[in-house]
Amino acid sequence: MKIFLKLIFNMQEKKAHFNAGKNLYSYKNGTTSSHITSFATVSFDLKTREKMRLMKENVKALVKKNIKTPEKLLEYVEKSGTKVIKNPYADKILSYVKEEEGFITPKSGFEALYLNLLLNKKISSKTPEMFVLRDLPLNIYVMSHQFHKWYSYKMKLPGYDSAAQENFKKVFEFSDPKKVEQLSYQEIMSLKDAIRRDVDAIEFVLELSREHEGSKKTLDKIKSGEKARL
């Protein structure tokens, strides 16, 4: 993912230089705002950094407290108002909309209709944020990765708007510079935020794993982008 962050940053700068002398680009998402001219990019994200610091402290404390009881993290999620759904076919249902088990951001349109029909047994074109997984023993490291992303969302960190999440699902397509060039400045920046949130979660799990043994196989799956059983 760090490779894609670098690629998108380079495309952001390329777009700025291409538009030298044109209007200033502006981007605002939650607590982060960015402005760009042909000469420089300036970001105002002190509030975001403070939120990230608090979030990391809170998540680390909660995970460490429940390192041997990951199901308690799921209970925490549910008590915080996020719907938790266990379905024996969760992995197959989610794969149809290019999602994996764990935290699912709000959906609208066809994806929401599909998920509501199969998971919530109702007809609606909108879903709230959800935790969706099979009813299997929870792996603390994979759960921590998803819990970190969920907590980031609840803290309203940038990168979780619907457009950013849709582009994030197609992130590997953007290895083609031509496809990145089709994105607007705002889309580039929000995709960058979405990738950053996933990298943050992975780095959190890596840090956690250094303090607790027995996680190498699961971490390798997360780092390589493979599915890991919750």
Residue 142 vs residue 13, higher pLDDT? 142
pLDDT, tens digit, for every residue of 191-219? 888 989 999 999 999 999 888 765 556 66
85-110 tens-digit pLDDT: 999 999 999 999 999 999 999 999 99
* 199 inside domain: yes
Measured between alpha carbons, how far is 144 from 230 in angstroms, rounded to an integer?
10
Q: Which domain holds residue 48?
A: 1-70+138-213
35 or 165, higher pLDDT: 165
Q: Which residues, 6+ apart, have CB-to-CB distance to 58 below 8 Å?
A: 151
Number of compact structural domains in the chain: 1
Phi and psi at residue 183, in whole multiples of 5°? Answer: -80, 145
Q: How many residues does the chain have?
A: 230
Report how far residue 128's alpha carbon sits from residue 49's, in angstroms, rounded to the nearest whole number: 26
Region 144-150 average pLDDT: 97
Distance CA 163, CA 165 (A): 5
* Assigned domain for 201 exists: yes
% the chain with pLDDT above 90: 53
pTM equals 0.77
Asked whether residue 95 is domain-assigned, the answer is no
The rounded distance, in Å, linking the Cα atoms of 78 and 130 is 9
Does 98 map to a domain?
A: no
Residue 110 resides in a domain:
no
pLDDT attached to residue 126: 96
Considering the domain boundaries, does residue 228 fall inside one? no
pLDDT at residue 14 above 60? no
Q: Would you say residue 42 lies in a domain?
A: yes
Do the domain assignments include residue 224? no
